[in-house]
Amino acid sequence: MAEKLLIAGNWKMHKTPSQTVEYFRAFKPMVEGIDEVEILICPPFIDIPAAVSESRGSNIKIGAQNCYFEKEGAFTGEISPVMLREAGCEYVILGHSERRHIFGETDEFINKKVISALEEGLRVILCVGETLQERESGLTFTVVETQLRLGLSGIGDKLDRIDIAYEPVWAIGTGVAAKPEDAEEVHRFIYEKLKEINPAKAEGVRVLYGGSVKPSNAEAILSQPHIKGVLVGGASLKPESFAEIVKIGASIERSK
């Protein structure tokens, strides 16, 4: 499996460019010298130039929260993978539950974005996860497998350029995380399905957990054998709390 845990922050629609500069000037010294984990921050599009500038020469990578699948054209309000790469992004989050449920993105639509982002050399974090109703109906594994297979369709031999984020929709922004052992069960299932999709490349995929991750539960989550990182929402907005999660991940890596 990939060597380092990935500690990723998804800022969602928070922070202006000036607030981004302020954040990085506080956060960088807190995580300086930590190389046991990979640190990623995904700010809003408008903040990416400031984030790239402020993170230059540091151990922090920058990604985006979404993109469109065309390189350019008459697509008002959209951003292409080409633009993200030139702006300095290395990653892009695709298929987040908020994109699926608020903006109506389908697995097929998300798949077009995945293919386009991979073609432009971005590393993709593909989000999957079930709603509370689906979970209570016993459909967790069915939903996750469908999202995986459709989202990864047609990517060829590029599976090792993908990370998966398992985000149970009922846990996002609620303050209630999935129990570590429950998340581990789904993560193990995801790895089984990835091996069916591409046995040679499945071990190169990191499966992250996302959904109300915070310093108080990060150690229990990251200690699970098939959880290879976290996608952090609200707790990534404060430099202190995100740095604490990074340090917890680094400590776990050192103890292996």
How many of the other CB atoms lie within 10 Å of CB of 151? Answer: 23
Active site residue 167: yes
Q: Which residue is catalytic, options 54, 98, 130, 167?
A: 167
Q: 48, 54, 46: which is closest to 25 by C-alpha? A: 54
Please answer whether residues 58 and 25 qualify as being in contact, where contact means their C-beta atoms are separated by less than 8 angstroms.
no
The residue with tokens 């109703």 is 133
Active site residue 96: yes
Query: What's the length of the chain?
Result: 256
Environment class of 225 (CB within 10 Å of its CB; exposed 0-12, middle 13-18, buried 19+): exposed
Please answer whether residues 146 and 190 qualify as being in contact, where contact means their C-beta atoms are separated by less than 8 angstroms.
no
Q: Which residue is catalytic, options 54, 96, 105, 244?
A: 96
Q: Which two tokens stand for residue 71?
A: 């390189």
Catalytic residues: 96, 167
